[in-house]
Structure 1
Amino acid sequence: MVNSQEFGKRIKKIQEYYQLSASALADALGIQRSTISHILSGRNKPSLDFVLKVVDTYPEVELYWLLNGKGNFPSDSTTPSPVKKITQTPPPPVQESISFQDAPVSSIPKNSKDKVIERIVIFYTDGSFKSFSE
């Protein structure tokens, strides 16, 4: 369990090291200024997202030191950290299991009592899409 008061002191050390105000630190991390204020005062405990943003933004901050106060800050590259930094790897490519036949939308039977298909859009994992309409 993270001690909120001690964690706040470590955040203050980071601010002093980088010569940042609380608002500049919040801006650098892309978080609300009130989040920094609440953590510094000990009112709120840090979220996992907050901790990861600090470690990713400032390479001299070791995760183990930030969470437990043990280790070095700024980190000494010759001292191994007991916690390995997790790097994100891209997910494996998605295999399409559905095959579509190239049939015009107009070949779909229409019944005046039913709803009519106006357009079909297929979205791909690379962010592109293909739209089919009459």
Structure 2
Amino acid sequence: MVNIEDFIKRLEIILDYYSLNASSFADKIGVQRSSLSHLLSGRNKPSLDFILKILEVFPDVDLYWILNGKGTFPKNAIAIEKRENQAEEVFKQNIPTPLKEEKISENLFSEIQNPIHQNALKTEKMENKNIPTEAFSGEVEKIVFFYKNGTFKVFNPN
């Protein structure tokens, strides 16, 4: 049996992956917007017809993954990773050599040595002071990594 809450999370992953809102997704697969809204709210369960339309329009969606979370999304995740690695290598080859050496730490969580970035970091820290610490408590729903080449990956720790 399909767990509806998990199915909705996987459906939201598909929406994020293709950068679609619920309305455009419904239009793209040829279902009424209200039926998708009812499904996303948990009011209705997905029909076989609905699942088949998703698979038809989005071939990267694996049937077993969308139904029960087994498998991968996108189907060709390995091929995508290879393309990203190749693009990263090309990007690295085209980076101009800086005139003077700047010390940039490999540790993402260490202090930034570049003074231009330090001002931005101070501004960001000051902005976060206005947010109550209670806003950061609880479980992490998802983590999104944005890459400089315009792509992104969504990780769900659950």
TM-score range relative to shorter protein? 0.5 to 0.7
Equivalence map 1:1-134=2 (5 Å):
1-76=1-76
Measured on the aligned residues, the alpha-carbon RMSD in Å equals 1.6
Residue pair 1:5, 1:41 contacting (<8 A) in 2 also: no
Matching residue of 1:112 = none
SS of corresponding position for 1:38? helix
Counterpart of 1:52, as a letter, is L
1:10-48 deviation digits (Å, cap 9, x = unpaired)? 110000000000000000011100111111111111000
Deviation at 1:77, TM superposition (A): 7.1
In 2: Cα distance, 1:24 partner to 1:3 partner: 25
Indicate the SS of the match to 1:64.
helix
Moved over 6 A (4+): none
CA distance in 1 between counterparts of 2:78 and 2:22 reads: 30
Q: How many residues align?
A: 79
1:94-117 Cα shifts (integer Å, max 9, x gaps) = xxxxxxxxxxxxxxxxxxxxxxxx
CA distance in 1, matches of 2:65, 2:21: 21
Question: Per chain length, whose mean CA-contact separation is higher, i.e. which structure has more relative contact order (CA < 8 Å, sep 6+)?
Answer: 1
User: Contact 1:2/1:45 (CA < 8 Å) preserved in 2?
Assistant: no
- CA apart distance, 1:76: 2.4
TM-score of the pair, normalised by structure 1? 0.56
Deviation digits for residues 35-93 of structure 1 (CA, Å, limit 9, x no counterpart):
111111111110000000001100100001010111100112779xxxxxxxxxxxxxx
Bigger proportion of residues as helix: 2
- Consecutive unaligned residues in structure 2, runs of 5 or more: 80-158
Q: How far apart are the structure 2 equivalents of 1:46 and 1:25?
A: 14
